[in-house]
Copies of this chain bind each other. A is one copy, B any other.
Amino acid sequence: MAKENPSLNRGEAEKGAASKAARGPGRRLHGAIAHKLGTAILSGQYQPGDTLSGEVAFAEELEVSRSAYREAVQVLTAKGLVESRPKAGTRVLPRTRWNLLDPDVLAWAFAGEPDIQFVRDLFELRAIVEPAAARLAALRRDKDDLKLMKDALAAMRRHTLATEAGRAADRDFHNAILNATRNDALLTLTASIGAAVNWTTQFKQRARALPRNPIPDHVRVYDAIAAGDPVAAAEAMGVLVDLALEDTASAMQR
């Protein structure tokens, strides 16, 4: 797979092709490096306290310039994964300093085999936040919000969760609820976690066919929000999260 890149300017033939193949289509080089290092750290390949073997050494090893490597390190630093000081080198920070809720960090965490404990933590957080979000949505939603939810629900019914379109509709439904809370902080939080957790849905689908028809549960949430009943909305959403947890848990045990 060395010659699918006719116009290479930077590295030599072999190396240039290798680094190009490593990164996806639209991604920049430093983004690819950040992804590489990020997944390595999240997967435990580098332990907290470990030091990344020098700026020049790493740049040479990866066959990229120092600038690209440094920009990648800036990204990791911005997400609290590493810290670099002169003479001391670039060290991996303790896990408590990591921005675990950052979308990229979440993606890196789920790039390899996700840590079971971490998945449980995320579901626990979801079980706390999402019902509360549903409660607020029941209090604050307007007609437009309800229309969005209804449309998403209809789309979910048409395609099932087995298709990509169906899963997109599921995301739309939850996003509509989040929007109805009129709380931006809540929105970004749950959107991040939701995206990460939906990634595990791939596991779920792989494990077995749909374990249960999720539509009625979604309808229950919608009805409660439409009726403006905060307690019922929270409860129905709690059921939804619990079901998702059960499914992923049983899928991951295999």
Contacts and interface: CB of A to CB of B under 8 A. Distances in A.
Given A67-B67, A80-B103, A98-B188, A30 B74 contact: yes
B129 A128 contact: yes
Contacts of A191: 96
Contact of A79 (B34, B67, B78, B129): B78
Nearest to A123: B185
A45 interface: no
A33 to B, nearest CB: 11
Contact of A102 (B34, B102, B136, B187): B102
A121 B78 contact: no
A125 B183 contact: yes
A104 interface: yes
A227 B152 CA distance: 45
Category for how many chain A residues contact B = 35 or more
A167 interface: no
Interface in A57-107: 67, 70-71, 74-75, 77-80, 95-96, 98-104
A132 interface: yes
A74 B78 contact: yes
A65 to B, nearest CB: 11
A125 B96 CA distance: 20
Contacts of A136: 124
A23 to B, nearest CB: 16
4 cross-chain pairs, A with B, having the tightest CB-CB distances, nearest first:
A78-B78, A128-B132, A75-B78, A121-B185
